[in-house]
Amino acid sequence: MPRYLIWSLRLRRVEYRIAEVPIFLIPTFLTIGDASAFAAAPFWEGALIFFFMFAFGDLLNCLADRDLDALYKPHLTEAVLGLGVRGVVWQAVLSGLAATALAAHLAWLLDRWILLPGCLVGLFAAYAYSVEPFRLKGRGLWQLGFYWLGLFTGPMVYTALLFTPWPGWDVLAVAFAYGMAQTGVILVNTAEDYPEDRAMNVGTAIVALGLRRGIGLALMLAGVGSVGLVAVFVLLYWRQNVPLPASAALLPLLGAAALVTGSIARLWRRCAALAEDEAATAVKVSARWVPLWITLVALATLLAAVVAWWLKP
């Protein structure tokens, strides 16, 4: 495989796709009526918009962080330097233009013009997260807002708009709770870099809050979001009269929520009992589990959504 292709894929952070695909599929299953939607333009063009927008954000983030990543994620810096700054910029621009063109086509095709400005807002949010003068990742709690609204809840609401003029209460509630829960998990990942970010004056949400308070906030978001997510599906299943055996589809979600919340709770207790340097080490150990935690919650929520769609009256 040519090196430029390897570098291009590396900067698109394809290792996260297994956890990102459910962000698109969960609201899809909660919104569509039948399987014919999977053969229609909104689904396939919407999926391409989704991936182009995430690629746009990943490319810009790797480009903006190339100096910081040289110390801790050298494989990303190697890819940026291999492609060249101009090459990465052009790939990001083309990704953004492709997403915009597809959104414009769907807006015209469906007569749902909110899709075009929605796409542009998403692209701007991805740009503002990494690039000065905005650089939300270095603006304290603004980083938190981006995670919740820009990375999870916003894309889920946008996906639902591909299939309906406005999402139902279930989609909005799931998107809100899911975004909260996963933001709590991602905060643990952000906390992994706390010593380095603080040393290099990168004002992440964890740096702004401090390590212990930051992990405490992660626990609150993950716990409240998980409870809310399970509660929404319980209510949805009850309203749809889902048979009790099929309701077992909620067990993986309950298990994932308990595992993630319990793990962050144990980390929070450890951080409260340790000196800051020791707490930072404990966070780095726990952060290794973040990809698994995010994926478990994502796949368990997707299973619950598929069952709700399959048994929809």
Looking at the chain, list the stretches that DSSP marks H as alpha helix, in order from N- to C-terminal side: 3-11, 17-31, 41-64, 66-72, 74-83, 85-110, 115-130, 141-145, 154-161, 169-192, 194-199, 205-209, 211-239, 251-273, 276-287, 290-310
Residue 223 · residue 184 · CB < 8 Å: yes
Q: What is the spatial distance between Cα 12 and Cα 57, in angstroms, rounded to a whole number?
A: 9
Structure tokens at 176: 């809100």
Q: What is the spatial distance between Cα 77 and Cα 62, in angstroms, rounded to a whole number?
A: 7
Kindly give the confidence (pLDDT) of every residue in the chain, 313 residues in length, as a single tens digit, with 9 standing for 90 and above: 588 889 888 988 887 888 889 999 999 999 999 999 999 999 999 999 999 999 999 999 999 988 877 777 888 999 999 999 999 999 999 999 999 999 999 999 999 999 999 999 999 999 999 998 889 888 888 899 999 999 999 999 999 999 999 999 999 999 999 999 999 999 999 998 888 888 888 889 999 999 999 999 999 999 999 999 999 999 999 999 999 889 999 999 999 999 999 999 999 999 989 888 899 999 999 999 999 999 999 999 999 999 999 998 7
Task: Tell me the pTM.
Answer: 0.94
Residue 277 · residue 1 · CB < 8 Å: no
- Quick one: pLDDT at residue 193? 85
- Quick one: pLDDT at residue 1? 57
Structure tokens at 35: 């399987």
- Quick one: pLDDT at residue 156? 98
**Domain edges within the chain:** 1-136, 168-313
